[in-house]
């Protein structure tokens, strides 16, 4: 069975400090990994996906298959980064019909 673990329920950092939100997964095949974000009073939205290897709003995430991790990083946190962050996994097979498996989420608070 596939599983996504986000060990930190809450992460508080000061503005300008580096941020790292941890995500570990378990899956026997080749998964597709995503980070979704939910800002206050907004709906859940995609932040980035590993296959795109892109940087969105200064965030990056590298898939480490050896450590089965997909940590989200940003070198300098901004106050508008405060939000709930979810790591998610798709098996990538079967047409994605097994949906996304989400972690429990990390609440990121950026202090001024």
Partner 1 sequence: DAGVTQSPTHLIKTRGQHVTLRCSPISGHKSVSWYQQVLGQGPQFIFQYYEKEERGRGNFPDRFSARQFPNYSSELNVNALLLGDSALYLCASTPRPSGLSYEQYFGPGTRLTVT
Residues in the site for partner 1, rule: CB under 8 A? 4, 32, 34, 43-46, 49, 51, 86, 88, 90, 92-105
At closest approach, how far in Å is the CB of 69 from partner 1? Answer: 17
* Of 29 and 112, CB closest to partner 1: 29
Q: Judge whether 110 and 77 are in contact, CB under 8 Å.
A: yes
- Please tell me whether residue 37 adopts helix, strand or coil conformation: strand
Q: Residue 36 is encoded by which pair of tokens?
A: 């979704």
Q: Which of 70, 78, 54, 48 is nearest to 2 (CA)?
A: 70
At closest approach, how far in Å is the CB of 111 from partner 1? Answer: 23
Supply φ then ψ for residue 96, to 5 degrees: 70, 15
Rounded to whole angstroms, the Cα distance separating 28 from 24 reads 13
* Of 54 and 79, CB closest to partner 1: 54
At closest approach, how far in Å is the CB of 25 from partner 1? Answer: 13
* Of 75 and 96, CB closest to partner 1: 96
């Amino acid at each position: 069975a596939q599983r996504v673990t986000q060990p930190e329920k809450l992460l508080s950092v000061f503005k300008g400090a580096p941020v790292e939100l941890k995500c570990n997964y378990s899956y026997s095949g080749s998964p597709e990994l995503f980070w979704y974000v939910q800002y206050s009073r907004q709906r859940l939205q995609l932040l980035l996906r590993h296959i795109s290897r892109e940087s969105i709003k200064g965030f990056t995430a590298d898939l480490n298959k050896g450590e089965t991790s997909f940590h989200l990083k940003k070198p300098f946190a901004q106050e508008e980064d405060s939000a709930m962050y979810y790591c998610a996994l798709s098996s990538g097979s079967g047409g994605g019909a097994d949906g996304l498996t989400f972690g429990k989420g990390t609440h990121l608070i950026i202090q001024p």
